[in-house]
Amino acid sequence: TGNLMYGLALSYESMELCLIGRAITGLGAPRIINRRYVADATPFSLRTAASAAFAMATAVGAAMGPGMAIVLDVFNFEFYLPVFGQQTFNGLTGPGFFMASAWAVFIVALAIFLKEPKRSGIDELRAREESAESPKKVALIQDEVSQPPLQPEPNNSAQSDLKQSLTSEYESDLDDELLAAKENESDKKINKNSIFFCLKHITRATLLCMALIFMKRIALECVVGSTSVITKNRYGWNIKNVGALHLVNGIIVIPISALSGWLAQFYEDRYLSLWLLSITLTGLVILIDPTDFVSNENETYNEGHWLAVGPVRYIAGSLIAFSGVEACESYVASLMSKVVPSTLAVGTFNSGLLETLVGTSGRATGDLLITAMGLISLRLLLNLLIIPGALLCIISIVLIRRNYDILAV
């Protein structure tokens, strides 16, 4: 529906229709479902590899998108669409009509061939939570058993103290049982699909993963979302140059994602996340132009200066940063699906929904940042976006290091 509205906007000369179509397309509903299937139907041992495969499929789509846009830009004809009348197919409307047709075919195929998989991932998550609770119960029982037996005392005062002690312990146990019963009763009153239930049961590790996804998305948007504006103002690129760069970005991520899935067999997600965030930070540092702090009299960039970010350095930094962020997504998404409580995993606010909501919010925040920084200075837009992105990357690395133990899954 969103892609169809985007394609129809030109013939209706409606900017509102175009923006609504873009908004619907960007909601990310299929991503929520796909992420939930990865979390629910994949065992822990294969979770990261499955997330890497999902990232690789996303990269293939990201690579085909700009390439397809370049191909569709060649066409320019009119056709009749039932209900909507005469329509124009060109470089502007073509992507909308093409994707609407592709989604229609996919929906039909889905209805015919999709079979619900067994939710083995949920069962394993519950088993892990129960096994994590068992040592605590065993330690408590051992502590009680190891206490020395009470020696009988001849006087009545000692017997009175013993009776009082046993009574207080019984009352304490009774209070604990009543408190647990009240908590269970309150959980029943709260709808498991409500935001209040989510806030009550969300864990520190889950919040940490959400923060990492949010900051990672902002950093990615600072690199990718600003490409057309920055390259046009600095290097005079056109839409085909930008599309070619995005195409190369998507192609490079494919082998990187395959490598990520292979490395997941030998290293933990938290360890690999640190390394890939460090690689992302390296790419962002390459994109920082120190000459703009000294001189920005030129309308484009300080061409000829050996420290200036020219087209070659921009392409290299963009490829490194984009590849690092996209590969890191596999590990962070896998981490989040492993640390989210089972009480949330079976409800509406599962890891797939939370990850998509946070990712979409991060993308929107990144777009707002691009707009705000563009109003400040188009000439300095590269540094105004890349420096905040690099700082967010550093914060992400520090957060993982400070909370390394709670991400041990």
Report angle CA 181, 182, 183 to the nearest 5 degrees: 90
The residue from 86, 112, 138 where one domain ends is: 112
Instruction: Decide if 370 contacts 385 (C-beta within 8 A).
Output: yes
- What are the percentages of helix, strand and coil residues in the chain, rounded to 5? 75, 0, 20
Is the per-residue pLDDT at 167 higher than 60? Answer: no
DSSP states of 19-83 as a string?
HHHHHHHTT-HHHHHHHHHHHHHS-HHHHHHHHHHHHHHHHHHHHHHHHHHHHHTT--EEEEETT
Q: Are residues 337 and 280 in the same domain?
A: yes
Match 């030998």 to its residue by tokens.
Answer: 266
Q: Are residues 324 and 215 in the same domain?
A: yes
Q: Are residues 9 and 103 in the same domain?
A: yes
The residue from 112, 139, 165 where one domain ends is: 112
Range of the structural domain that residue 308 is part of: 42-72+197-407
- From the CB of residue 11, how many other CB atoms can be counted at a distance below 10 Å? 16
Q: What is the pLDDT of residue 193?
A: 66
Q: What is the pLDDT of residue 60?
A: 76
Assigned domain for 104 exists: yes
- Write the CATH number for 251: 1.20.1250.20
Q: What is the pLDDT of residue 191?
A: 65
Q: Are residues 203 and 89 in the same domain?
A: no
Q: Are residues 283 and 268 in the same domain?
A: yes
Rounded to an integer, the average pLDDT of 266-295 is 89
Least confident of 48-57, 293-302, 316-325, 390-399: 293-302
Mean pLDDT over the full length of the chain: 80
Q: How many domains does the chain have?
A: 2
Assigned domain for 9 exists: yes
Instruction: Decide if 221 contacts 366 (C-beta within 8 A).
Output: yes
Assigned domain for 380 exists: yes
Q: What is the pLDDT of residue 317?
A: 94
Is the per-residue pLDDT at 156 higher than 60? Answer: no
Assigned domain for 306 exists: yes
- The CA distance from 295 to 316, in Å, is 23
Three-state DSSP state, 88: strand
Q: What is the pLDDT of residue 285?
A: 95
Q: Are residues 366 and 223 in the same domain?
A: yes
Q: Are residues 343 and 245 in the same domain?
A: yes
Q: What is the pLDDT of residue 75?
A: 85
User: 33-55: per-residue pLDDT in tens?
Assistant: 777 777 777 887 777 788 888 87
User: 9-24: per-residue pLDDT in tens?
Assistant: 888 888 889 889 888 8
Q: What is the 3-state secondary structure (H, E, C) of 354-396?
A: HHHHHHHHHHHHHHHHHHHHHHHCCCCHHHHHHHHHHHHHHHH
Q: What is the pLDDT of residue 372?
A: 93
Q: Are residues 65 and 1 in the same domain?
A: no
Rounded to an integer, the average pLDDT of 383-393 is 94
Rounded to an integer, the average pLDDT of 227-233 is 88
Least confident of 93-97, 276-280, 295-299, 331-335: 295-299
To the nearest whole percent, how much of the chain has pLDDT over 90?
17
Q: Are residues 266 and 209 in the same domain?
A: yes
Rounded to an integer, the average pLDDT of 355-380 is 88
Assigned domain for 54 exists: yes
Q: What is the pLDDT of residue 157?
A: 52
Assigned domain for 88 exists: yes
Assigned domain for 357 exists: yes
Query: How confident is residue 136, by pLDDT bands cut at 50, 70 and 90?
Result: low
Rounded to an integer, the average pLDDT of 79-84 is 87
User: 195-204: per-residue pLDDT in tens?
Assistant: 777 777 788 8
- The CA distance from 295 to 76, in Å, is 44
Q: Are residues 79 and 66 in the same domain?
A: no
Query: How confident is residue 166, by pLDDT bands cut at 50, 70 and 90?
Result: very low
The residue from 85, 112, 139 where one domain ends is: 112
- The CA distance from 396 to 157, in Å, is 62
Assigned domain for 150 exists: no
The model carries a pTM of 0.75
Most confident of 73-87, 242-256, 270-284, 295-309: 270-284
Most confident of 178-182, 251-255, 309-313, 330-334: 309-313
Q: Are residues 280 and 214 in the same domain?
A: yes
Q: Are residues 47 and 106 in the same domain?
A: no
The distance of Cα 314 from the centroid of its chain, to the nearest Å, equals 25
Rounded to an integer, the average pLDDT of 234-246 is 84
Query: How confident is residue 393, by pLDDT bands cut at 50, 70 and 90?
Result: very high
Query: How confident is residue 234, by pLDDT bands cut at 50, 70 and 90?
Result: confident
Rounded to an integer, the average pLDDT of 293-301 is 73
Rounded to an integer, the average pLDDT of 325-342 is 84
The better pLDDT of the pair 104, 346 is held by 104
The pair of structure tokens assigned to 247 is 């195409």
